[in-house]
Amino acid sequence: MSNETFNVAVVGSTGAVGEQILRLLEERNFPIKTLKLLSSARSAGSKLKFKGQDITVEEAKPESFEGVQIALFSAGGDVSKALVPEAIKRGTVCIDNTSAFRMDPTAPLVVPEVNEEKIFEHNGVIANPNCSTIQMVAALKPLQDRYGLKRIIVSTYQAVSGSGAKAIAELNRQTKAIVNGEPVNPDVLPVSSLPVKHQIAYNAIPQIDKFMDNGFTYEEMKMVNETKKIMGDESIQVTATCVRIPVVYGHSESVYVELGSEYDLQEVRSLLENAPGITVVDDPANQAYPLATDAAGKNDVFVGRLRRDLDSPTGLNMWIVSDNLLKGAAWNAVQIAEIIAARSQQA
C-alpha cells in the first residue's frame, strides 16, 4: 500500500457544511498534500485554520482546479453546475453536495453504507444525496437486503440548519422576540426566494423548497426520486411530507415501510444493530429513543421506536434521526473521499 497524498479543494469552505468538511478532514487525518479553500468572491480573502495553519480562502474559478485531484463541493447548485465540468476537464474527481447532478443518469448517487460500489462508476462527479434521503436509506438498506422494500411513507421533521446560517439566526431571533413580547417579523423561511414568509419559532412549516405542479415540494420529490436511484429499485413506492421545525441541528423522520415479506421484529433490530453507521436507541420502557439533541455532532444514523404495524404483517414503523450537516452532508462526502483515497493507495 502506498502513502500517496492528495491535492484537495473544498468549494464553499466558509459555509456551514464546508466548515464541517474541513473539521472532518483534519480530525480523520485525510492524506492531504495541498489544500485549497475556495468560495464566492464575497468570502475570498478570509482566512480559515487547518491543522494550526492559516489558509487564505480564494475565489473559485475554473483555473482553481489545476492539479487538484479531489474536490468537495458545497457552495450551491449554480456554483456546482458552472465549476464541476471545469474541474472534471482538469482531471479532478468532484464530490458534489448539491442537487445539481443527483438525478443525472451518468452520476452515481452514493451513500457508502448502501451502494459504495457505485463510487467507481463515476465520470468525474459523484453526487451526495439530500440530507433527509441519506439517513433514511442508510437505515433501510439492511432491511432491503433481507426482506425487500415495497412501500415507504415518510414524514420529516427537519432542522433549520438545512436552510443555512440565516435560518438558524432567524430561529434564535424569533424565539427571543416571542419571549420578550416583541414582533417576530419572519424574513427567511420557508423559502428565501419566495414572497411569503412564516414564523419558525414555536411552529412547524409544512414546506421545504418550492412547490411543484403535482402538489409536492422539490424536497419531497428529492426523497422520492433519490431513494429509488440509491436503492437501485424503481418499483419501490415512496411518498414524503417534509416539515421544517424549530430545531437547530438534526433531522428526524417518521418512517412507515412495507417490506417485501413478513419479518421477525427481533431480527429487524439485530440487522440494524449490526449495520454500519447505524446506532439503535430503542428502549421504550426507559424512554430511550433517538433525539435530535443527542444526534447533533455525531456521524451515525440513529434508529428507534421500532414497532409492527397493527394491520399489515409486512408493515414496520421506525423513527430515524441524524445530524443533517454531518451524515446528511459533510460526513457522507468525506466518507466517499476516504474510499477513493484508499482505493488509490492500494493500486
Element (DSSP H or E) covering residue 301: strand 301-308
Annotated catalytic residue 251: yes
- Strands ordered across the beta sheet of 251-259: 237-244, 149-158, 251-259, 315-322, 301-308, 278-280
Contact call for residues 88 and 124 (beta carbons, < 8 A): yes
From 122, 131, 198, 242, the catalytic residue: 131
CA 64 to chain centre: 26
Query: C-alpha angle with apex 47: 45 to 48, nearest 5 degrees?
Result: 140
According to DSSP, residue 238 is labeled: E
Residue 342, judged by CB atoms within 10 A of its CB (0-12, 13-18, 19+), counts as: exposed
Residue 130 C-alpha cell reads as 439530500
Q: How far apart are CA 62 and CA 83, in angstroms?
A: 6
From 94, 122, 242, 251, the catalytic residue: 251
According to DSSP, residue 80 is labeled: H
- Strands ordered across the beta sheet of 125-127: 58-59, 32-39, 6-11, 70-73, 93-96, 125-127
Q: How far apart are CA 31 and CA 316, in angstroms?
A: 42
Catalytic residue numbers? 131, 251
